[in-house]
Each structure stands twice: as C-alpha cells, then as structure tokens.
Amino acid sequence: MKILIVDDERDVEDLFRQKLRKEIRSGMLELEFAFSGKEALDILASENPPKVVYVFSDINMPGMSGLEMLEIIKERFPQIQVSMISAYGDEANYKKAMDSGAKEFYTKPVNFENLKKEIASLSTSTF
C-alpha cells in the first residue's frame, strides 16, 4: 500500500521511515514524500489512477496549506483517504479538516501507534 506524507519540514521523512521501518521492510507500506501541497498534487496526478491510497499531511505549510490541498484531493481523487496533522490542536482547523473530508486529525507529535492502526484499517478496506 502506497502512502504519501506531505510536510514542508524535510526531517519528517527520516522520522516516518524510522517509525514505519518494519512495515516498509515487510512490503506492507511504500512511502512517498512531498514537501509542499503543489508537489503532492503533482505526484497524485502523475499516475492514472494514483497508486497512493492514503495521504498524511501537515496543515501549516508555505504556499498552499494542507487544508487547501485536502479540498483539491477530495474533489479530484475522492477515493484517496486523507488525514491531517497540526502542531496546534485548535478547533477551527479540526472542524475545517473534518468538514472537508479528512479521515482523521492528529496533533504533533504524531502518535505512531494510532497512525499504524489507521493504516492497517485502510489495508483491510482497500483489498
């Protein structure tokens, strides 16, 4: 299963690869990274249909915000599940994300055990 992580902080890639290394090594997960909303949309549009089944995105990014990207993904690729993460667990971002079709809303630091459970539930519903 291919998932796309979107965050403008590049060190996030090392963190996700470390925390999900067992799932990557076993072949259960394939990770792809984008460092902006535009880059994420370009990746999704590069394959028809996209192989990505799940997007995990930061909300606060320069240029296009994660919430703006979420709305575009849900419009263009409604089959892709999207969860959002923010350093700020504020009610306005939570409400906007959920109203825009987010599957889940996380606050930093990421609880990787919860994220792994969510990813596992996706794999049972996509096959």
Q: Which domains does the chain have, with CATH numbers?
A: 2-126 (3.40.50.2300)
pTM, two decimals, is: 0.92
pLDDT tens string 113-125:
999 998 888 865 5
What average pLDDT does the structure give for the chain?
92
| Strand order, beta sheet including 81-86 | 30-34, 2-6, 52-58, 81-86, 104-107
- Report how far residue 87's alpha carbon sits from residue 70's, in angstroms, rounded to the nearest whole number: 17
Q: What is the DSSP letter of 36?
A: S
Q: Is the pLDDT of residue 127 over 60?
A: no
